[in-house]
Amino acid sequence: MQIGTDSPSWSPSSGTRTLEQPETRVVPQLARPWNVIVHDDPVTTMLYVVKVFMEVFSYSQMHAHELMMEVHTTGRSVVWTGDREQAELFVHKLHGKHLLAHLEQTDSG
């Protein structure tokens, strides 16, 4: 039986065939980011929420107000997205200010 020298390669001395591994590239998989989500509650005033967003996230008053309105009208808002460690720090600060907040990983990276 004639065996070609092209792939798969033939090694006459050993009589074995070597399968060349297809080239693979390792693409770094970025961790999926985390969302910080704030929920509406019946007691907290709108002004307080705006002030907390400005203080915790250093948001402008306008952006903080937009997010507060989203919380107020829809019941919740994603107020920040990023790495887990920072998201945990923000949630800790929000809990320290008595806002209802939790973090959850996003569906895609």
Partner 1 sequence: MMYIEREDDAVILRDLPVWVVDTLLCLPEWIESDNPAVRDRLLPKAYLDDEADKEWRDSLGSSLEHLFATRTQIVGKDLRNLEISSGPTAPGDEAFAAQTLFQVRIPGPHVSAWVSTLQAGTHALFILEGLTSEDVSREIPSTDDPEKQVSMLRLAVLQEILVNLLGE
Applying CB under 8 A, the residues found at the interface with partner 1 are 41-45, 47-48, 51, 88, 91-92, 95-98, 100-104
Residue 86, class by beta-carbon neighbours within 10 Å (0-12 exposed, 13-18 middle, 19+ buried)?
middle
Residue 29, class by beta-carbon neighbours within 10 Å (0-12 exposed, 13-18 middle, 19+ buried)?
exposed
Is the Cβ of residue 17 or residue 95 nearer to partner 1 in the bound state?
Answer: 95
Q: Least separation, in Å, of the C-beta of 9 and partner 1?
A: 51
Is the Cβ of residue 67 or residue 103 nearer to partner 1 in the bound state?
Answer: 103
The contacts of residue 43 (CB under 8 Å, 6+ apart) are none
Is the Cβ of residue 40 or residue 70 nearer to partner 1 in the bound state?
Answer: 40
Q: Least separation, in Å, of the C-beta of 37 and partner 1?
A: 10
Helix (H, G, I), strand (E, B) or coil at 65: helix
Q: Cα–Cα distance between 4 and 10 in angstroms, integer?
A: 7
Q: Least separation, in Å, of the C-beta of 109 and partner 1?
A: 19
Q: Least separation, in Å, of the C-beta of 6 and partner 1?
A: 53
